[in-house]
Amino acid sequence: MKWVVDALENLRKKRPLVQNITNFVVMNTTANALLAVGASPVMAHAVDELEDMLKLADALVVNIGTLDEHWIRSMEEAVRVAASMGKPVVLDPVGAGATRLRTKTALRLLEAGRISVLRGNFGEVSALLGGHGVTRGVDSTVYDGERARELAERASREFGTAVAVTGPVDYVSDSRETYAVENGHPMLGRVTGTGCIATALIGAFLAVETPLKAAVGALAVFGIAAEKAFEEAPYPGSFHTKLYDWLYKIDSSILERYVRVRRL
């Protein structure tokens, strides 16, 4: 799809500043991924600097992976400020369904301001809808391919935002259009932080595309990078390193050859 190619090219021309309020586990990982793809990351969560930082930022990424009362306050305020400034926001409800705190926090963030994209695995998004998806830690223990599309469409209607349900096939919907992104590799599940990378990349693409297309484009680019990384490094440690290399190396010719995106 040409617009996926155009989105990556526009991202690299713009070099958007992406503010991340994310978890301790993946700060370095997601910062490196954003740099590799052509964006500029900033990891800032202090409440006193949110307004100043968001004036500069092109998009906001909120990831609830490591929560406490201070981070929750910062996330809620950041979402409100971003909404007042018209800045796009992507929310990653890490581990929603595993604890009441995580589920409650994610739902409060969805209500605090205008979330552009909600990106979660099957269990997390199902939990936010009050379903019975089982979440263990931050990993989805259940993926139902036939229901994943329905889940994305239903969550999009419920929360009034574009929703990406990621798994073996990623389904992205804004309730009007739905896409299936078939790029990716199972090795992504053997390395920590890959879902968080996907969310951060969506944040970068939000600076140059609509929410639906930003999610589709980011997931396609990341999926192809994973496929090419595995060809060169079929073990978790080296695979992780190669992900950065391929986020840097991926270009229009590679995208045009390998992208597997279907409009449903």
Cite the annotated binding site by residue number.
43, 119, 166, 193
- Give the DSSP H or E segment for 174: none
Contact call for residues 78 and 35 (beta carbons, < 8 A): no
DSSP 186: G
Q: Which residues participate in the annotated binding site for ATP?
A: 119, 166
DSSP SS3 for 125 = helix
Contact 79, 113 (CB under 8 A): yes
Strand partners of residue 19: 42, 60
Binding annotation for substrate: 43, 193
d(CA 3, CA 68): 39
C-alpha 44/C-alpha 22 separation (Å) is 9
Closest listed residue to residue 169, CA positions, set 119, 124, 219, 125: 219
Separation of alpha carbons 54 and 37, rounded Å: 21
